[in-house]
């Protein structure tokens, strides 16, 4: 049973599907409130545009809503704001039912389209400024890549002031009351979605906000998940702006480089190395060095600290031929961050084989850290002499953070 047809503007309707039962999204996100796959239909005097589809399993709901609002031969355009399966799941079938409709995607989606629809289909590419007309309605496209897929774009329905923002401003929050002023309190879901999906792309968020703010007037934001936003639009724009530009540790005020030593240690051997590395790095003018025990650091704090760090130093003992789990967990939380431009380095105490620092080094290389120094290893309990080597290694890292040029290690 479908509910009443919900207009979100003059001639603009919700055609999405609700997924109240989903509890984990894209493997990485918890969705305590379920979610929705939002799709919209725009009716103009000269035809209809469908803005995105839904996840394949929810196709029936989507088509039922579309059929209540138009016949397939009225559909002139199908707009896909990005091609992720939660929105492109019903695309192929929609194109089969509406063969005369023109598919519109961003230029970055062109190669992806082949990966999703395995046959050749006709499409048109939209960049910032391109417009399509439905007679008395105009849809203008905005290029907003990497939010959160490379091919993401947004669009703006000029006459109604509706921004179709793709996943930007989305929330995994199922609530059939639909509008932000009518649903339950979804603030946590809005922030959680930002943190997990948009945060690695802060610079792209800021670029998109510039384009959004340049739209004449946004009366309503229609994202691809969760509530439709229509009350105090600036609150949502400003929230994204703040989250994408804030620096928690105020280092910009102090003009310092932040070097963080993350370590884990069972018998304090790796810990002693960490301490000496920190002291060495901190002795360099302009470097603020700190150390953190991974055994008791919450993931949320790890992410914040790593984000702010110019230099990330990771220490782990070797246990059964491997680095220990908290060190791997630290590096896996880079999935939520931009690593480009950060300096990395690894160290650790070991008993006989000592693979851990090299393994972490390789992983950091894979994450695109700059790794100017070879891993530092010390056998079992560090001597005073060895600890002063750690101090020197830390100093070297500090100097590199301040701009000293070194030969990169090639191993």
Ligand X SMILES: Cc1cc2nc3c(=O)[nH]c(=O)nc-3n(C[C@H](O)[C@H](O)[C@H](O)COP(=O)(O)O)c2cc1C
Q: Which of residues 255-314 bind Fe ion (CB under 5 A)?
A: none
- For the bound state, the minimum distance from the C-beta of residue 393 to ligand X, rounded and expressed in Å, comes to 16
Region of 289 (left: φ > 0; alpha: ψ -120 to 50; beta: rest) is beta
Query: Binds 86, which of ligand X, Fe ion, none (CB < 5 to 8 A, cut-off by type)?
Result: Fe ion
Give the binding site for ligand X (CB under 6 A). 265-270, 317-321, 349-354, 380
Is the Cα dihedral 134, 36, 332, 309 positive or negative? Answer: positive
Is the Cα dihedral 360, 363, 368, 371 positive or negative? Answer: positive
- For the bound state, the minimum distance from the C-beta of residue 196 to Fe ion, rounded and expressed in Å, comes to 11
Say which residue the tokens 């007679």 belong to. 135
Which residues, other chains included, contact 334 with Cβ-Cβ below 8 Å and sequence gap of 6+? 306, 367
Site string for Fe ion, 61-90 (x = CB under 5 A): -----------------------x-x----
- For the bound state, the minimum distance from the C-beta of residue 26 to Fe ion, rounded and expressed in Å, comes to 8
Q: Tell me if residue 158 falls in helix, strand or coil.
A: coil
Q: How many CB atoms lie within 10 A of CB 119?
A: 6
Which CB atom, from 7 or from 321, has the smaller least distance to ligand X?
Answer: 321
Which CB atom, from 54 or from 134, has the smaller least distance to Fe ion?
Answer: 54
Number of residues that bind Fe ion (CB under 5 A): 4
Q: Is-contact 5 68, C-beta < 8 A?
A: yes
Which CB atom, from 19 or from 84, has the smaller least distance to Fe ion?
Answer: 84
167 is a site residue for Fe ion (CB under 5 A): yes
Q: Rounded distance, CA 361 to CA 278, Å?
A: 18
Which CB atom, from 234 or from 353, has the smaller least distance to ligand X?
Answer: 353
Please, what's the b/e burial string for 65-79 (b: 16 or more CB within 10 A of its CB; e: otherwise)?
bbeebbebeebbbbb
- For the bound state, the minimum distance from the C-beta of residue 227 to Fe ion, rounded and expressed in Å, comes to 14
- Which ranges of 85-154 would DSSP assign to H, the alpha helix? 85-88, 91-97, 110-116
Q: Tell me if residue 266 falls in helix, strand or coil.
A: coil
- For the bound state, the minimum distance from the C-beta of residue 230 to Fe ion, rounded and expressed in Å, comes to 20
Which CB atom, from 156 or from 350, has the smaller least distance to ligand X?
Answer: 350
Which CB atom, from 209 or from 356, has the smaller least distance to ligand X?
Answer: 356
- For the bound state, the minimum distance from the C-beta of residue 224 to Fe ion, rounded and expressed in Å, comes to 5
Query: Binds 184, which of ligand X, Fe ion, none (CB < 5 to 8 A, cut-off by type)?
Result: none
Query: Binds 386, which of ligand X, Fe ion, none (CB < 5 to 8 A, cut-off by type)?
Result: none
- For the bound state, the minimum distance from the C-beta of residue 146 to Fe ion, rounded and expressed in Å, comes to 11
Which structure tokens are listed for 40? 């919209």
Which CB atom, from 37 or from 393, has the smaller least distance to Fe ion?
Answer: 37
Q: Is-contact 61 30, C-beta < 8 A?
A: no
Residues that bind Fe ion (CB under 5 A): 84, 86, 167, 224
């Amino acid at each position: 049973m479908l509910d009443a047809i919900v207009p979100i503007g003059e001639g603009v309707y919700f055609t999405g599907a609700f997924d109240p039962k989903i509890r984990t999204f894209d493997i990485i996100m918890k969705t305590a409130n379920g979610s929705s796959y939002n799709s919209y239909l725009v009716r103009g005097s000269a035809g209809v545009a469908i803005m995105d589809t839904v996840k394949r399993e929810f196709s029936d709901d989507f088509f039922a809503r579309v059929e209540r609002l138009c016949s397939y031969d009225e559909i002139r355009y199908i707009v896909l704001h990005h091609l992720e399966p939660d929105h492109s799941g019903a695309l192929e079938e929609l194109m089969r039912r509406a063969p005369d409709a023109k598919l519109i995607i961003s230029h970055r989606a062109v190669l992806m389209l082949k990966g999703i629809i395995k046959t050749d289909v006709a499409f048109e590419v939209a960049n910032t400024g391109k417009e399509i007309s439905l007679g008395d309605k105009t849809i203008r496209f905005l290029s907003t890549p990497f939010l959160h897929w490379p091919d993401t774009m947004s669009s703006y329905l000029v006459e109604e002031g509706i921004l179709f923002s793709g996943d930007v401003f989305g929330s995994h929050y199922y609530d059939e009351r639909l509008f932000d002023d009518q649903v339950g309190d979804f603030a946590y879901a809005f922030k959680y979605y930002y943190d997990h999906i948009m945060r690695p792309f802060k610079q792209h968020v800021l670029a998109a906000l510039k384009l959004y703010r340049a739209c004449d007037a946004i009366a309503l934001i229609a994202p691809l998940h969760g509530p439709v936003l229509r009350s105090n639009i600036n609150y949502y724009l400003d929230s994204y702006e703040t989250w994408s530009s804030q620096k928690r540790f105020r280092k910009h005020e102090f003009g310092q480089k932040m070097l963080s030593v993350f370590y884990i240690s069972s018998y304090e051997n790796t810990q002693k190395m960490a301490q000496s590395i920190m002291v060495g790095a901190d002795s360099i003018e302009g470097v603020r060095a700190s150390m953190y025990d991974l055994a008791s650091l919450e993931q949320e704090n790890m992410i914040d600290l790593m984000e702010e760090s110019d230099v990330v130093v990771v220490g782990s003992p070797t246990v059964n031929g491997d680095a220990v789990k908290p060190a791997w967990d630290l590096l896996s939380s880079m999935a939520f961050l931009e690593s480009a431009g950060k300096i990395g380095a690894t160290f650790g105490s070991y008993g006989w084989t000592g693979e851990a620092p090299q393994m972490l080094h390789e992983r950091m290389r894979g994450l695109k850290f700059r790794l100017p120094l070879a891993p530092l290893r010390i056998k079992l309990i560090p001597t005073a002499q060895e600890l002063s080597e750690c101090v020197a290694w830390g100093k070297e890292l500090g100097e590199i953070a301040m701009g000293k040029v070194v030969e990169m290690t090639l191993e």
